[in-house]
Amino acid sequence: MTLEDPQDQDFMTPFNALKSSVLEQIADLIEELKVLHKSISEQYKEHIHANEVIMTLGCSRTVEEFLKEAGRKRKFGVIVVETAPSLEGHTTALNLSKAGIDTTLISDSAIFAMMSRVNKVIIGTHAVMANGGLIATSGTHMLAVAAKYHSVPVMVCTGLYKLCPLYAYDQDTYNDYGSPNAYLAFKEAEHLEQVHSYNPNFDYIPPELVSLFVTNIGAHNPSYIYRLLQEYYYPEDTLEDDDNATTTL
């Protein structure tokens, strides 16, 4: 597809319907966000069964609502990874426990040891790539690899507003790095002049480590994401140029 050169476009041509069209799309998005968690939570019957053990990581409202809705009807256990150094898993464990769900909190280093007891992994995500991969909380890749080793399915609960048109992701270029102060006190750092400290906020999880997406319009395999992409973006927005195609993930 050949895109029109911006220099050849006449930006002086009035488009009277632009404002109303933009407002309409914004209203649709707001409405989608209002019913997002309910739409996903109602699908628990197909994915969570009695007496299962589920592992999750981080603090995702979508996952939390999904588990709480299932906990009202079925009895199961949840293992929550504390997600160092933010320890946001503590919040998830507390909220699930208050909802009457049997909850166990573990350290990140215990993921592999506990995975053999798990029936499925349910996680949230920061973004969904066009190839079905994820940009998720740091530590999620380790969790997904451990699940793959033990043949445990990995489910992702997410709204499709997180769908991203990019196929490639360079962690060194696009990752967000937090302050190392979360695990290294400033008074200690002044004596470690030759030590480099990094605190990445996100992991890239390739699509082969993901089993299923549970979205606000139903459940889909990672291989189907590109079809959803065509519904949410214009074709010119999803074109993969040569540079992105060769980016090392």
Alpha helices in 72-213 (DSSP H): 89-98, 111-115, 140-149, 171-174, 186-189
Weakest-pLDDT range from 173-177, 234-238, 240-244: 240-244
Averaged pLDDT, 53-64: 96
Q: Which helix (H) or strand (E) holds 81?
A: strand 77-81
pTM of the model: 0.81
How would you list the strands of the sheet with 134-137, edge to edge? 127-128, 134-137, 202-205
Task: Tell me if residue 202 falls in helix, strand or coil.
Answer: strand
Short-list 200, 220, 199, CA closest to 210: 220
Beta carbons within 8 Å of 26's beta carbon, 6+ residues apart? none
Q: Tally Cβ neighbours within 10 Å of residue 73.
A: 10
Q: What is residue 6's predicted lDDT score, i.e. its pLDDT? A: 57
Cβ atoms of residues 218 and 46 within 8 Å: no
Higher pLDDT, 73 or 249: 73
Q: Which amino acid is at 170?
A: D
pLDDT band at 229 (very low <50, low <70, confident <90, very high): confident
Domains of the chain: 20-242 (3.40.50.10470)
Q: Tally Cβ neighbours within 10 Å of residue 18.
A: 9
Q: What is residue 134's predicted lDDT score, i.e. its pLDDT? A: 93
Dihedral sign for Cα atoms in the order 47, 209, 86, 171: negative
Tell me the Ramachandran region of residue 103: left when phi exceeds 0, alpha when psi lies from -120 to 50, beta otherwise.
beta
Q: What is residue 206's predicted lDDT score, i.e. its pLDDT? A: 93
Q: What is the pLDDT of residues 111-156, one digit of tens each?
A: 999 999 999 999 999 999 988 999 999 999 999 999 999 999 999 9
Cβ atoms of residues 163 and 229 within 8 Å: yes
